[in-house]
Amino acid sequence: MSERLDHRGRRTALNGVVAGGSDEEGPGKLLSPAAAYAIGDGINAKVLVLNKLYMAIRVISARRAFSLLLRDLAEVIHVEDGKYLSYDYETWAEISELQRQFEPERHDWVRTVHFDIAAPKVIRLFGYDRMPQQRVKLNRRNLFARDRNCCQYCARSFPTSELSIDHVIPRAQGGVDSWENLVCACVRCNARKGGRTPGQAGMSLANRPTRPRRNPLISVRLGQEKYASWKAFLDNAYWSVELK
């Protein structure tokens, strides 16, 4: 059960978790006892970051988000019944006590030695007004997310380790690295196709490869109920979100 702490106590307890590790914990990295206690829970949940104009700019971990909140560089934006409510760190910690009692399943939770706090879904930066990046980066992670780990020739799903990136038009025939010419392919289909086009190999594509209008990893998360509040800030006809 969470203990009743004053505002300073809550900040101190959570600081021990936030300062105990980076966004990406490496093997063999030594953590503080507080950070080690929190690993595996909400400390690594994903948080949508807005600039001061309420435009989404990137996605970060809850650890990074709490670091910004504790330094008073950001506020929590909570979407409830179509309304945007803003909270500083102290108020969010108090609200979390009620959320823990009445709707614990709707949140990812960060545990400290003395209390639990809900990982925010959205935060807004006070001093950042740059426009979000509008081009989705072409990389292996985003390609797998766009194709949802599905081979684009046999239409079967595979673990990431069993997929490769295939050039629809092979490089030897003038194919380039682009969203429109790269697809996920399983080992068997990739070997069957070889250095040929799908037509030359007697194969067809399950879907026509296109450039996504927003980061495909964001689209995957929007399918999860707990990230529904992100939709209010994501206009896929206008911009895309950069993952950090």
Could you count the other beta carbons within 10 Å of the beta carbon of residue 55? 19
Same domain membership, residue 90 and residue 25: yes
Pick the last residue of a domain from 125, 148, 180. Answer: 125
End of a domain among 125, 149, 176? 125
- 83 with 170, same domain: the answer is no
In a domain, 240, yes or no: no
What was the pLDDT predicted at 81? 78
Domain identity same for 184 and 95: no
pLDDT digits (tens, 9 = 90+) for 3-15: 455 555 556 556 6
Q: Which amino acid is at 182?
A: L
Distance (Å, whole) CA 163 – CA 190 = 9
Contact of 121 with 227, CB cutoff 8 Å? yes
Q: Which one has a higher pLDDT value, 27 or 171? A: 171
- Minimum mean pLDDT range among 68-77, 135-144, 181-190: 135-144
User: pTM (2 decimals)?
Assistant: 0.56
Domain carrying residue 145: 140-193
Q: Are residues 15 and 38 in the same domain?
A: yes
Asked whether residue 53 falls in the same domain as residue 149, the answer is: no
For 162-208, the pLDDT digits (tens) are 999 999 999 999 999 999 999 999 999 999 999 999 999 999 999 99
**Is residue 35 situated within a structural domain?**
yes
Residues 109 and 172 in one domain: no
Q: Do both 13 and 104 map to the same domain? A: yes
Give the rounded distance of the alpha carbon of 4 from its chain centre: 32
Give per-residue pLDDT as tens, 201-240: 999 999 999 988 766 556 556 556 667 778 777 754 334 4
> Which position has the higher pLDDT, 132 or 241?
132
Does 104 share its domain with 178?
no
The burial class, CB within 10 Å (0-12 / 13-18 / 19+), for 215 is: buried
Does residue 210 belong to any structural domain of this protein?
no
pLDDT in tens, 95-113: 998 888 888 888 888 887 7
Contact between 108 and 225 (Cβ < 8 Å)? no
Is residue 170 exposed (0-12), middle (13-18) or buried (19+ Cβ within 10 Å)?
A: middle
Three-state DSSP class for 193?
helix
* Residue 20 is assigned to a structural domain of this protein: yes
| Token code pair at residue 216 | 């495909």
Per the domain annotation, does 242 fall within a domain? no
Angle at 110 between CA 57 and CA 119, to 5 degrees: 30
Asked, for residue 98, whether it belongs to a domain, the answer is yes
Is residue 179 one of the residues assigned to a domain? yes
CB atoms closer than 10 angstroms to residue 207: 12
Higher pLDDT, 214 or 117: 117
CATH code of the domain containing 148: 1.10.30.50
- In this structure, the answer to whether residues 19 and 100 fall within a common structural domain is yes
- Domain final residue pick, 73, 94, 125: 125
88 and 179 part of one domain: no
| CA 241 to chain CA mean position, Å | 10
Rounded to whole angstroms, the Cα distance separating 230 from 22 reads 24
For tokens 């966004």, the residue is: 23
Is position 175 within any domain? yes
Question: Are 85 and 189 in the same domain?
Answer: no
Q: What is the mean pLDDT of the chain?
A: 79
Total number of domains in the chain: 2
Residues 109 and 27 in one domain: yes
- Give the pLDDT score at 115: 81
